[in-house]
Amino acid sequence: MRQSILIIILLISFSASAQNDPNEVVEQFFKEFKEKGAAIAIDNLYKPNKWINKSADAIIQLKSQLEGLNEDFVGKYYGKELILEKKLADSFILKSYLVKYDRQPIRFTFQFYKPNDTWMIQSFKFDGNLDTEIEEAAKLYNFTLN
């Protein structure tokens, strides 16, 4: 009996700590985004951040805009690919993803902050400016010429 209680406690603590890892949070976000919709995914993404209630209007607007990425507007959702991950010290991480739709790719950007011992979402945004940025990156002044 003691062993089963200990195993349950260990599983609960492992599950809680795994969900605190930015990679796990992002995976959970995309799973919920696909299966349950944008509003639930956003709510659960920001749930651990106790400061988010000060930005309630911005979150409502973000959910509304993200729900606009539906099949009528951008086509079918096919998944995601990591574009880039940047760390600023050990307490701030940016993760950027190419989210694949029929019509066009959309970039989802997550910023995570760990003020003490727990990661929390600091910022989430999305945009469709990938074509402009890749064209800019291809210009000659971005290269060293001999």
Which pLDDT band holds residue 19 (cuts at 50, 70, 90)? Answer: low
Each residue's pLDDT tens digit, 83-120:
999 999 999 999 999 999 999 999 999 999 999 888 99
pTM for this prediction: 0.79
pLDDT of residue 94: 98
Nearest CA among 127, 108, 118 for reference residue 27: 108
Q: Identify the structural domains of the chain with CATH numbers, from first to last.
A: 22-140 (3.10.450)
- Name, in order, each residue with C-beta under 8 angstroms of 117's C-beta and a sequence gap of 6 or more: none
**Separation between Cα atoms, residue 70 and residue 5, nearest integer Å:** 44
